[in-house]
C-alpha cells in the first residue's frame, strides 16, 4: 500500500455574509495554513481579520459594513464576542459576558441582540454606542435566532419538539410570548428583512409533511397550506420579503426552490445534482450556495457567475460512486456506495454519519476518497433517524436508540455481501460523533460482523456523556430516550457501548478530543480502560481540539490514523507516511 495524499485544507460550509446597507462588503470564514479564520472582503480583495492557533469559525458583519463581529472562544466553545473595524484596526471587547455563542442578530440601526449560553441562556442588547442591556434569562436549552428589522422583537428557538419550541421577546420590556402549534414540531427561520414588517418565517412538521408557516404579532402562527414537502426544508427570506428561498434535502441530495408568497408559486431553481450545504440570497439579490458531490469538494457558486471568493477547489477523488436501496422490515435503507477499480468482493468500510438527525449526503468526504484509493469500498447508509426520507423515518427509534440503526446497518452489510460487493471477512465500521457512538455500539452488539472499528469523538457511556454534555445535546437525548438517565436508566444502559464492552472482539481505534463539550473525554477514557481490562486490542489517540476540530492538523491526524488502523486490520499494510496536500 503506497503513501496516500490527504487534503488538509479546511472549508467552512457557509456563504459569505454581506452587509445589508453596504453590499460590497462581506465577511467569510476561510482557510489559513490549515485552520479556519475570519476574512473581510471587498471587490479590492480580502483581509484576514482573526489569527488564533485553534482558528475562528463564528463571525458576522453589522448592517452598515463598519464592524466585523467574531467569537473569541476556547476549545470547549466558551468565550467572548469581539468587534474589529472592517477596514482594519485593533479588536475590542463587545462588552458582553462570557459564555457560549448562542445567536447574534442585528437590526437596521446596528443594535445587536446577542444570546450567551451557559446552563441556560441570557439575551442581551448591545446599542451602537456600546451600551449593553440584559433583556432576559431563560432556563434550559435555547438559542437566539433573529431580531426584527426595527429591533423591537427577538425570537428564540428551543428543541423543535418541545411543548414551547419558540419564544418571541419584546426587546424593550423583556416580555415574551410562547410560539407553538398543537400537534406540530416547529423550527424558526427569521423575521422579514423589510421595514415595518414583523412577520416571522417558520417551518412546521407533522408525521407526514413539512410546511411553511408565518407568525405575526396580531395573528399568531398560521401554516401556508399551499406548499408542503415530505422531507426536511430550510427556508430563508429573499431581500424583498415577498419570496422565500427553500433548500430541500431529499434522498441524500439537495434542491433549491423559490416560493412567491403572494402568487403562491413554487419554482425549482437550476442547480447541479449533488448536495447544497448552505444557500442565501444576498442583499443585492444574487443567490449564493455552497455545493458539493461525492467527487467534488465544497465550493461557492453564485447565480450571477461572479465569484467573490475565488474559484472552486480541485482534488483528485478515487472510486466510482453508486447507490443502493436495501429492503428491510422497516422500509428501504438508502446507501451511498463508492467502489474502487479493483475486482470485487472488496474490503468494505461502513462510514456512519452523526446526528442522529443528519444524513450521509452525496457530498465530498476525504475518508471516502482515501479508502477507495487504497482498494476499499465505502458504504454510507442512511439508517432510521436520518433526514431526507420523511418525518416517520427521521423519528423512528422503535427498537431503541442505537439498536434501531444497527438493525438497518446489518441489513445493508448482508445485502452487499450477498451481492458480491463486500468481502464478509473484511468489513469495518467507522464513524464520528453519533456515528462514532454507533461504531462502538456495533462492536459490542454485533461482534461477529466487524473486523475493525474506528470511532472519532464518540459517546461511549451514554449516561455519563449526558451529564457532561451541553444543554443542546441533553435536550436532544431527552427527546430520543423519552427522558434523562434518572428517568430512563434502563434505556440509557441498553444503548450504551459501555454495557456491551465485554462482547467486543474486533480491534478498536478511538480518537477523542481533549476539550469535547458534546462527547466528554472522561467517558471515552473509561470505555478504553474497560477494553484494556478485557485484553481487547485497541488504540487511543487524543486530539488537542474541541468536538468539531476545525484545523488541518486535526483533520490529517484523524484521517491518517483511521485509514492506517482499519487498513491494517482488514489485511492491508499500514499506510506509509501519509502526506499533506494543499
Domains of the chain as residue ranges with CATH: 320-467+508-526+537-581 (3.40.50.1820)
- The three-class DSSP label of residue 29 is strand
User: In this predicted structure, what is the pLDDT of residue 165?
Assistant: 95
Q: Which of 220, 126, 144 is nearest to 180 (CA)?
A: 220
In the prediction, which pLDDT does 228 show?
Answer: 93
Output the pLDDT for position 348: 98
Q: The pTM is what?
A: 0.90
Q: What are phi and psi of 503, to 5 degrees?
A: -90, -5
Question: Cα(97)–Cα(95) distance, rounded to whole angstroms?
Answer: 7
State the CB neighbour count (10 A cutoff) for residue 492: 23
Looking at residue 506, what is its pLDDT?
97
Q: How many CB atoms lie within 10 A of CB 268?
A: 11
Query: Residues 126, 132, 135, 140: is their CA dihedral positive or negative?
Result: positive
What is the DSSP code (8-state) at residue 500? G
DSSP tag of 127: -
Dump the DSSP string for 281-332.
E-TTS-EEEEEEETTEEEEEEETT---TT---------SEEEEEEE--TT-P
Q: What is the mean pLDDT of each run of 10 residues along the chain (582 residues)?
A: 53 82 90 89 90 92 95 93 96 96 93 94 95 93 94 94 93 91 93 95 93 93 93 96 96 97 96 94 91 90 76 67 96 97 96 94 92 95 96 94 98 98 97 96 98 96 92 90 96 97 98 86 96 96 80 83 94 49 46
Cα distances from 465 to residues 461, 517, 519, 527, 550, in angstroms, run 6, 9, 6, 11, 22
Rg of the chain in Å (alpha carbons): 24
Q: What share of the chain is helix, strand, coil (3-state, %, to 5)?
A: 20, 40, 45
User: How high is the pLDDT of residue 4?
Assistant: 54
Distance CA 440, CA 455 (A): 7
Helical packing angle, 366-373 and 552-569, nearest 10°: 40
Cα separation, 209 vs 392, whole angstroms: 9
pLDDT of residue 1: 39
pLDDT of residue 307: 66
Among candidates 208, 296, 202, 210, which has minimal Cα distance to 244?
202
The residue behind cell 431526507 is: 388
| pLDDT confidence of residue 2 | 45
Helix (H, G, I), strand (E, B) or coil at 501: helix
Contact 532, 538 (CB under 8 A): yes
Amino acid at each position: 500500500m503506497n503513501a496516500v495524499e490527504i487534503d488538509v485544507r479546511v472549508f467552512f460550509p457557509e456563504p459569505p455574509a454581506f452587509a445589508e446597507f453596504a453590499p460590497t462588503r462581506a465577511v467569510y470564514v476561510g482557510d489559513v495554513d490549515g485552520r479556519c479564520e475570519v476574512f473581510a472582503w471587498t471587490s479590492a480583495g480580502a483581509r484576514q481579520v482573526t489569527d488564533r492557533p485553534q482558528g475562528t469559525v463564528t463571525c458576522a458583519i453589522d448592517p452598515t459594513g463598519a464592524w466585523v463581529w467574531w467569537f473569541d472562544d476556547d476549545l470547549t466553545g466558551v468565550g467572548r464576542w469581539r468587534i474589529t473595524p472592517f477596514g482594519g484596526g485593533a479588536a475590542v471587547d463587545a462588552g458582553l459576558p462570557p459564555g457560549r455563542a448562542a445567536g447574534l442578530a442585528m437590526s437596521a440601526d446596528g443594535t445587536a441582540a446577542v444570546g450567551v449560553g451557559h446552563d441556560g441562556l441570557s439575551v442581551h442588547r448591545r446599542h451602537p454606542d456600546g451600551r449593553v442591556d440584559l433583556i432576559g434569562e431563560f432556563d434550559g436549552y435555547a438559542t437566539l435566532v433573529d431580531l426584527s428589522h426595527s429591533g423591537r422583537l427577538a425570537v428564540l428557538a428551543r428543541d423543535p419538539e418541545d411543548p414551547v419550541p419558540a419564544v418571541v421577546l419584546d426587546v424593550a420590556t423583556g416580555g415574551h410570548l410562547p410560539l407553538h402549534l398543537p400537534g406540530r414540531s416547529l423550527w424558526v427561520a427569521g423575521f422579514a428583512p423589510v421595514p415595518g414588517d414583523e412577520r416571522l418565517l417558520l417551518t412546521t412538521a407533522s408525521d407526514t409533511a413539512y410546511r411553511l408557516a408565518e407568525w405575526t404579532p396580531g395573528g399568531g402562527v398560521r401554516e401556508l397550506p399551499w406548499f408542503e414537502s415530505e422531507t426536511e426544508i430550510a427556508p430563508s427570506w429573499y431581500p424583498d420579503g415577498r419570496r422565500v428561498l427553500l433548500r430541500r434535502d431529499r434522498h441524500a441530495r439537495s434542491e433549491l426552490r423559490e416560493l412567491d408568497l403572494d402568487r403562491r408559486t413554487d419554482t425549482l431553481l437550476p442547480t447541479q445534482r449533488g448536495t447544497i450545504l448552505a444557500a442565501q440570497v444576498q442583499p443585492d439579490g444574487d443567490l449564493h450556495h455552497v455545493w458539493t458531490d461525492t467527487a467534488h469538494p465544497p465550493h461557492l457558486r453564485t447565480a450571477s457567475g461572479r465569484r467573490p471568493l475565488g474559484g472552486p477547489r480541485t482534488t483528485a477523488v478515487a472510486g466510482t460512486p453508486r447507490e443502493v436501496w436495501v429492503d428491510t422490515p422497516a422500509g428501504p435503507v438508502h446507501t451511498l456506495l463508492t467502489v474502487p477499480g479493483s475486482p470485487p468482493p472488496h474490503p468494505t468500510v461502513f462510514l456512519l454519519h452523526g446526528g442522529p438527525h443528519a444524513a450521509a449526503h452525496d457530498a465530498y468526504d476525504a475518508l471516502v476518497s482515501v479508502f477507495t484509493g487504497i482498494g476499499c469500498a465505502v458504504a454510507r447508509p442512511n439508517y432510521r433517524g436520518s433526514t431526507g426520507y420523511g418525518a416517520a423515518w427521521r423519528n423512528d427509534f422503535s427498537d431503541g436508540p442505537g439498536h434501531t440503526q444497527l438493525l438497518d446497518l446489518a441489513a445493508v452489510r448482508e445485502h452487499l455481501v450477498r451481492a458480491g460487493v463486500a468481502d464478509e471477512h473484511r468489513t469495518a465500521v467507522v464513524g464520528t460523533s453519533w456515528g462514532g457512538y454507533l461504531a462502538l455500539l456495533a462492536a459490542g452488539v454485533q461482534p461477529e460482523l466487524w473486523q475493525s472499528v474506528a470511532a472519532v469523538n464518540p459517546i461511549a457511556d451514554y449516561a455519563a456523556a449526558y451529564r457532561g454534555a451541553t444543554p443542546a445535546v441533553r435536550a436532544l437525548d431527552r427527546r430520543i430516550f423519552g427522558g434523562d438517565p434518572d428517568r430512563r436508566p434502563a434505556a440509557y444502559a441498553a444503548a450504551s457501548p459501555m454495557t456491551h464492552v465485554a462482547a467486543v472482539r474486533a480491534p478498536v481505534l478511538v480518537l477523542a478530543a481533549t476539550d469535547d463539550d458534546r462527547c466528554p473525554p472522561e467517558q471515552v477514557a473509561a470505555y478504553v480502560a474497560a477494553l484494556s481490562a478485557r485484553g481487547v486490542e485497541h488504540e487511543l489517540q487524543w486530539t488537542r481540539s474541541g468536538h468539531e476540530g476545525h484545523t488541518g492538523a486535526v483533520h490529517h491526524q484523524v484521517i491518517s490514523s483511521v485509514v492506517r488502523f482499519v487498513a491494517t486490520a482488514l489485511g492491508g499494510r499500514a499506510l506509509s507516511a501519509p502526506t499533506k496536500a494543499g
